[in-house]
Amino acid sequence: MKKLLYIGLSLFLVFTTQSFEMAQEATLKWEEWNAGYKRGIAENKIILVDAYTEWCGWCKKMDKDTYADPAIIKKINKDFVAIKFNPELDKTYFIDSTSYTGRELHAMLSKEYRTGYPTTYFILPQNNKLFINPGYEAPAQFAETLDKMLGEAGIK
């Protein structure tokens, strides 16, 4: 009887652990700018910045469709540092020791161009490049964009 209980408990733990790992893999790991930017630079990973606002319908659609897609999640979690960035929030953002408001950081990222929302910025510390990708992209199109960024960084 004890042996049967031990086997049952062992199976339960194995399946619970696998389910937990699958749930973690199925969730996009968003970070705030200050921690994510620093980590991306330190780990030499592509920094993906999703610039959004609360009132933006296309931003919500991209969250619901694209950023919820399991293939997109897997690719981003593996090769990118994902940052959610709302420039309208009253926060202080840092690059090294220099501080910026949300609007200042957004202007710097967008190179003063009007890009609208959502806009995805890709910072490639590998070769010190910045790519601006304005607008909504469906999962298939965004997967191609991610692959292009991996190629630009010399990853894959």
- The answer to whether residue 23 is domain-embedded is no
Q: Is the pLDDT of residue 4 over 80?
A: no
- The answer to whether residue 69 is domain-embedded is yes
Beta strand 80-85 pairing with 98-100: unpaired
Instruction: Tell me the pLDDT tens digit for each residue of 93-126.
Output: 999 999 999 999 999 999 878 889 999 999 999 9
- The answer to whether residue 64 is domain-embedded is yes
Mean pLDDT, range 116-140, rounded to an integer: 96
- The answer to whether residue 102 is domain-embedded is yes
pLDDT at 17: 43
Instruction: Tell me the pLDDT tens digit for each residue of 42-95.
Output: 999 999 999 999 999 999 999 999 999 999 999 999 999 999 999 999 999 999
- The answer to whether residue 105 is domain-embedded is yes
Domain containing 49 — which CATH number?
Answer: 3.40.30.10
User: Structural domain of residue 138, as residue ranges?
Assistant: 29-153
Distances (CA, A) of 65 to 58, 103, 142: 10, 27, 11
Q: Count the domains in the chain.
A: 1
Report the distance separating Cα 40 and Cα 130, nearest Å: 13
Greatest extent of the chain over all pairs of C-alpha atoms, in Å? 71
- The answer to whether residue 56 is domain-embedded is yes
Instruction: Tell me the pLDDT tens digit for each residue of 8-42.
Output: 445 554 444 444 444 445 899 999 999 999 999 99
- The answer to whether residue 2 is domain-embedded is no
- The answer to whether residue 123 is domain-embedded is yes
